[in-house]
A and B are shown apart, each in its own frame.
Chain A
């Protein structure tokens, strides 16, 4: 496919790999975090790590929206389906996220809950329109990429005068998560990860632009390179990060200029600002409670807010004790460090959320990387 295949070209990859080797100073070690699950997936699937010199290490960040969804939020969706009797619409990825009492949305469906997978928020609106007798709730998760489509759906429901559509809003913000990785008190609990720079989000940045990362490059003196989700994009970004580190710079650079501008998508930003406001705090799986890191629906649109309509409250639930997702999402542990990785916890039967989505660090490592480890090659 055009604009995909060219960015996976093996010849070009060989060239970039040579460029990275030449740029990397053998006397230094480089630790870069790719924030997004999309990058984690590309790195694992295309074996990008094999094309890097040993002193360049990639650390998987928390940017997989399914992986950071806390158990308590999935519980709310399950309660809506089983206790409030709503028709719960959700993106496919959330169906298998483990929640309390051994339940998932998928199992809730088997128990008689009306849980439906939708491809788009617009499908949920259409369902509500078609079935005025049902209360339809859209379980809205995701980063800045997925938030504008939810805003459009709410506005559409308003324009249609729907009385039976609402949204369980679990949208979260990328920049707050990145700052949290660098400065939260939990860093003490998990130890710190040495981080020399970040690969910034691809699709999130099409919406918010490259500008929001500027503060953060300056404040924490960490280079940020925004990159597309194809393997060559990731390699080029690594090269750019190495060059910044070598020259002592810490600025925001944009490798994904074919889709990202400094200002981002203003139309989408305005829609989001119209419908949503900041929550004072939001709990993330792995990162804990992060101040001003999530969105809720403004009171002007309160009738579309499932949390108000059904008076369900959020209850925090700790993760499975064996699960190392918390440390993995912060980059201080690797999937293979988890005792139950690949044995008890597998993509078919995930215990933690990092194993659920193909963008999760554990799932990506299970699918593309574990054989290499078992052959005794250090990862």
Chain B
């Protein structure tokens, strides 16, 4: 009984962890290139909306996934335009983009489905495996094409960042843009690619959110982008470290839900604040010892 229970719990943790992990991978690429990405939250929301819109308009779940990824890339492109081209402060620009996406999706929701809260139901990519009970749930997750894709992306991100020429260049742009420039690395373009990767990964995180619910609902990212940002820091700007941090946050959230279900008498609202409190503690406890990319938040020529 308890083994089954813990299996169910494990599946829950992995399900919750997945969007965090994808967004945190995205944040890692952006920040390793030297651009702080507060817009993760907005990118995720845009990805979720674009997925539902795409799947609804074409009737093809996989075209919806593509649309979701492109939606994320689109917002990342805007961030790149404002920060890399116009030299605006990336943190402020990220906050503004989050406001834009929050308002924009509400506007489009009203325009497309005439609702203030949620879209109509859409088909999501189906899992390749299915079954009964706890084992079935595990099979359904492990055999889900999006889950497998996410696992591949986790491993791939590590290789891309630490084993390829692009990864080395990207890290150079985050550590010392002037030196990178002198060595012939096109700083602006490299950072742009880092941001676009960030947008694609985080957009996919949004796709997962909306695919699980089979619909878009207003503000459905619910602060996950910010938690992912905390995971980037807690994971010390390493893809695998970030994923590990996301597993911890996912476990906290699953535990919170299990405690709520078990009726411990603890107030629901305070349990819901648990992941955020954990992220706070992680940030304040770890950030002093973790070293961020040296040129994080600096412009191409090293100016603020």
Chain A complexes with chain B: no
Interface residues of chain B, those whose CB is within 8 Å of chain A, are none
